[in-house]
Structures are given as C-alpha cells and as structure tokens.
Amino acid sequence: MVGKSTAFSTAKTSYSSMESSISALKGIKNLNTKGLIGGKWVDAAKGKTFAVTNPATGEKIADVADFDSSDITAAIDAAQSALKAWQMLQPVDRGAILNKWAALIRENADDLALIMTTEQGKPLAEAKGEILGSAGTIQWCAEEGRRLYGEFIDGQKPGTKIVISREPVGVVGAITPWNFPASMITRKVGPAIAAGCTVVLKPSEETPLCALALADLAQQAGLPAGVLNIAPSTDAAMVGKVLTNDVRVRKISFTGSTHVGKLLMGQAAGNLQKVSLELGGNAPFIIFPSANLEKAVEGAISSKFRNAGQTCICANRIFVHKKIFDEFLKVFSIRINALRVGPGDQKDVTIGPLINGKAIEKIEKMIAEVKEGGAKIHIGGKRHALGGTFFEPTLITGASPKAALAREEIFGPVAALYSFEDEDAVIDSANDTQYGLAAYIYSEDQKQVWRVSDRLKYGMVAVNEPLLASDLAPFGGVKDSGIGREGGHYGLLEYTDIKYRLFG
C-alpha cells in the first residue's frame, strides 16, 4: 500500500461547485469514526486518531480511531467470545441476518457511494456499482451458506460408514485495501460469517469509513455482537503481527501487495493458520486479428481505466496484432480523449483522482523511464491541469517490455500498447511475469480462444469480456498473485475445515 502524501501542499485543487467533504457527508446516519469491538463503537485505548482525507481536494474528512496492539487483541477476544454461539446457529438463521444486511446496503446505496467517492475518489457511478455489487455478494453468501454439504461414504469394512463434513475454521483476521473499499470487505466477511466464523477486519487507513458504515448496517441487520469487529489502524505491520501471533486466529485473508502477502504468509506459518492471499497482477490484454475491434476497444477502456487504473486485474499490457494495430490505436485514442477527469462527485466524470501523491510519483517514474528509452507518448503523460492527485489518461507505444511499465502494476490511468505478429510469441510474452492473476483475450476464432486460454498461466482468463469479478466464480491467481479464491462456492470453502468421522 502507498502511504499518505503531501502532494496538496504544492498543488491545491479548487472546485467552486464542490461542497466540502464534511458538508457533503452531513446527515449520513451510519457514518462512524470509531472502531467496533464486541458490538460497541469504541475509541482507541490510547485515544489516538488519524486523519482521512479526500484525494480529490486534500481536505480532511474525519478523524478515525487509530487502534494499537491492545485494541486488536480486544477485538480478537470479542470474536472468540462470539464464535461458539455464531457457529452453532443454523445456516438458515445466519442467512436471514445476511439477507437483511444486503437489503440495508441496497437501501443506503446512495449514502455509501458518497462516502466511498469522498474518501477514495472514484466516480459516483462506479462507487454505487461497487456498493450494489457488495450487497449482491452478501446475498449470495446468505444463500450459499446453506449449501455447505458433506459426504456419506460406505467404509472399507462391512458395516462401517464414513461421514465427511465442513466446519467453520474459527476466528478470521482480514486485511483489505483502499481501491475497492466495500467489495473487498464483503468478499471476505460475507463467506466467513456465512460459514459460521467470526471476523476481525482491518480496513485500509486510506478508506476506513466505508468499512465502518457497512459494519453499522450489519449491526442494524441483527448481526450479534463480536461476530464482526472493525479495527482501523495506521500500523498495518503491527496488526498483521498481532493477528498472526494469536493462536485463536485460525485464518488470515489479505488483499494487497505481493511483498506484504509473503510477509504475512511467513508469519502465519508459526501458528499454521490458513491463508488466502489476493496479491499483485500484471494482466495481459491480447487482441487478435479476428477480434471485433469495437468490442475490443470498449473492453480495453473498461478494463484499463476503471477506478483510474487502480485495480489489480486491469489491463497492464495491451498486446495488439500488427495487422490491426494502427486501426486499434486510432479508435482507442478517440475513446481515451473522450474520458473526463475530475472529482468523482461531479457529473459525467469518468476518471477520478489517484489515491495519493506517491501513486502519482510512481507512474511519473515509469513514464520517464520509457520516454528515455524511446517510447512515444500519444496522449497525456503528465499530471492533469486540475493539480493534486489527478493524472491525465495516457497512451504509450514503443515501451520496452523490460521497463517497469511492463513488469510491475501501473496502478494508474496509463495504457501501454505492444505490437505482436505470432501467437506463440505473444503467449510467451504474456506469461513472462512473476504474476498470474488475470488475462484477457479478444478473438472470434473459437479454436484459438481455447488454445490460448489453455496456455496462459493465470488464475482467471476473460474472453471477449472485460469484467471478471462475479459472486459465482472463484476470483484469485497463481504464482506471485496469491493463493486461495474469493467468490463461488470455492470462496466459501476457504473458511471451513474438513472433519472426517468413521462409524462402525
């Protein structure tokens, strides 16, 4: 995760039509700034707080409780105390509470979207879409929690029977990122509590207000005290150590950088905790000559520029066949030029700010490297005239495949195109990365689609479609992109242990 920045000390944005962050959020009844432990909203034990700011303006939105190790331990205590009663509850009864939570999220979607846009920056339409998708995740978990079926098998000896069942793993420690501050929470909390687990959740310090608002709605839905505990903190390393050092925590679920994921996995080994890690990506977006060009352009725009390019599965390297490269470049350029940059709460904005100044500095460094190497900047390539953390949608060709732009997550509105001629060669290029999260293919040749998707070393492959995430499907990667899955019944199984009983 990137930290707080002082970018606004030199480049202030000003919008006469934009309300102050605090005024815009007045009246939102489920806006909380305290942590949640055992069903109670509490300050940090030592009274510490941290500021949450609007990335579009640099303005402080709120001061939020900053938990230390004693607070995290108290949250684990509460989760452990609530565990027995929650796991003993019938799945249908847990599901009823989850369904109420989903309904409340939908009822409050406009408020939740405004909170998200204010603290994270994405356009309101994207924010509301994420909120409604999060409600769908909770509803799906409510229903799927009733389907944790086991097996009944005849034993090896006459008259014996084998019964295999699934049981909740126990207390779960979850750590979520800032780029999708609602959906990343519901994709962990939903299946965990549907399976009968209790949760201690640490949201990103950049976007804690979404987590706290969702938890408030969960309480209104009747979620018992201690089942979900929210632990805001600026000390992520400390939180990770407390969660992994406590033997009562039986599962760690983390979404974030590969570096931090590996550290957590090493720490979790001490107590042999289950681990799910959704880490970095470097998605290839491959466009073959038979592709529907208009569909491929729209797919690339959607994948690359959603959330200002701040997604782990966005198109990081766009490979376009030489036969259609010039035509694709022309149409793609027109669509990029039509994107509108601005604060997420303004009408027709499609690209909001980056999360902070360090994010800007990272992509500036990447662009400077490829420019020095002879790459061509067709569109953008610099900070937006609005200032602050706004960056121009950017289109680059001729970048070296060895540059950081092609080797690391860009996490910004920067699209780099690479020409190719040979199918085998582009597959090799696509696989030439430590990451293996998401890949995209655009082709109308069905034999080619199966052939190429078989050879791509990625946990997820989308064909002629840019939106991979679904409640129904297992989201996750291979190699340095992590282990475990979120979504589908596979995601629910991540929060269970297998029990085998032999009856004679």
* Strand-pair category, 315-321 with 414-420: parallel
| CATH among 2.60.120.10, 3.40.50.620, 3.40.605.10, 3.30.360.10 for 34-279+482-501 | 3.40.605.10
Phi (first) and psi of residue 389, to 5 degrees = -105, 25
DSSP 353: -
- What is each CA distance from 425 to 9, 168, 286, 322, 430, in whole angstroms? 47, 46, 12, 13, 9
Pick from 429, 420, 425, 417: nearest CA to 328: 417
CB 1 within 8 A of CB 235: no
Residue 1 is predicted with a pLDDT of 35
- Domain residue extents for the chain: 34-279+482-501, 283-469
- Beta bridge partners, 341, equal 351
Distance, CA of 486 to CA of 471 (rounded, Å): 8
What's the N-to-C CA distance of the chain in angstroms?
54
Burial call 16-26: b when 16+ CB within 10 Å, e when fewer: eebeebeebbe
Specify whether the backbone of 62 is left (phi greater than 0), alpha (psi in -120 to 50) or beta.
beta
- Beta bridge partners, 188, equal none
Compute and round to an integer the Cα radius of gyration of the chain: 23
278 classed as catalytic: yes
Pick from 296, 204, 254: nearest CA to 304: 296
Residue 31 is predicted with a pLDDT of 83
- What is each CA distance from 37 to 44, 203, 340, in whole angstroms? 10, 14, 41
| CATH among 3.40.50.720, 3.40.309.10, 2.30.30.40, 3.40.50.410 for 283-469 | 3.40.309.10
Residue 24 is predicted with a pLDDT of 66
Residue 11 is predicted with a pLDDT of 35
CB 202 within 8 A of CB 174: yes
* Residue owning tokens 């352009």: 297
Q: Is 78 exposed, middle or buried (0-12, 13-18, 19+ CB in 10 A)?
A: buried
Specify whether the backbone of 331 is left (phi greater than 0), alpha (psi in -120 to 50) or beta.
alpha
Distance, CA of 223 to CA of 190 (rounded, Å): 12
User: Which of the residues 278, 409, 486, 494 is marked catalytic?
Assistant: 278
Distance, CA of 423 to CA of 316 (rounded, Å): 19
Q: pTM of the prediction?
A: 0.93
Question: Helices in 293-356 by DSSP H: which ranges?
Answer: 293-305, 325-337
Distance, CA of 218 to CA of 235 (rounded, Å): 25
Phi (first) and psi of residue 264, to 5 degrees = -65, -40
Residue 17 is predicted with a pLDDT of 36
3-state secondary structure 5-43: CCHHHCCCCCCCCCCCHHHHHCCCCCCCCCEEECCEEEC
Angle (CA) 454-457-461 rounded to 5° is 65
* C-beta neighbour count of 132 within 10 angstroms: 17
CB 379 within 8 A of CB 337: yes
Pick from 463, 452, 397, 462: nearest CA to 425: 452
Query: Which element (helix H / strand E) includes 419?
Result: strand 414-420
Residue 80 is predicted with a pLDDT of 98
User: Which of the residues 197, 210, 312, 314 is marked catalytic?
Assistant: 312
Pick from 98, 235, 87, 231: nearest CA to 173: 231
Residue 250, both tokens: 């039986």
Distance, CA of 211 to CA of 206 (rounded, Å): 11
Residue 84, both tokens: 């027995």
298 classed as catalytic: no
Axis crossing angle, helix 124-144 with helix 91-107, rounded to the nearest 10:
170
Distance, CA of 427 to CA of 144 (rounded, Å): 37
* C-beta neighbour count of 423 within 10 angstroms: 16
CB 306 within 8 A of CB 415: no
- What is each CA distance from 247 to 97, 201, 231, 497, in whole angstroms? 28, 17, 18, 16
Residue 316, both tokens: 């990081």
- DSSP, residue by residue, 227-261: SEEE---S-HHHHHHHHHH-TTEEEEEEES-HHHH
- What is each CA distance from 78 to 47, 65, 83, 224, 304, in whole angstroms? 20, 18, 9, 11, 41
Residue 462, both tokens: 């989308």
DSSP 20: P
* Strand-pair category, 496-503 with 161-168: antiparallel
Per-residue pLDDT of the chain (504 residues; tens, 9 = 90+): 333 333 333 333 333 334 455 566 766 776 899 999 999 999 999 999 999 999 999 999 999 999 999 999 999 999 999 999 999 999 999 999 999 999 999 999 999 999 999 999 999 999 999 999 999 999 999 999 999 999 999 999 999 999 999 999 999 999 999 999 999 999 999 999 999 999 999 999 999 999 999 999 999 999 999 999 999 999 999 999 999 999 999 999 999 999 999 999 999 999 999 999 999 999 999 999 999 999 999 999 999 999 999 999 999 999 999 999 999 999 999 999 999 999 999 999 999 999 999 999 999 999 999 999 999 999 999 999 999 999 999 999 999 999 999 999 999 999 999 999 999 999 999 999 999 999 999 999 999 999 999 999 999 999 999 999 999 999 999 999 999 999 999 999 999 999 999 999
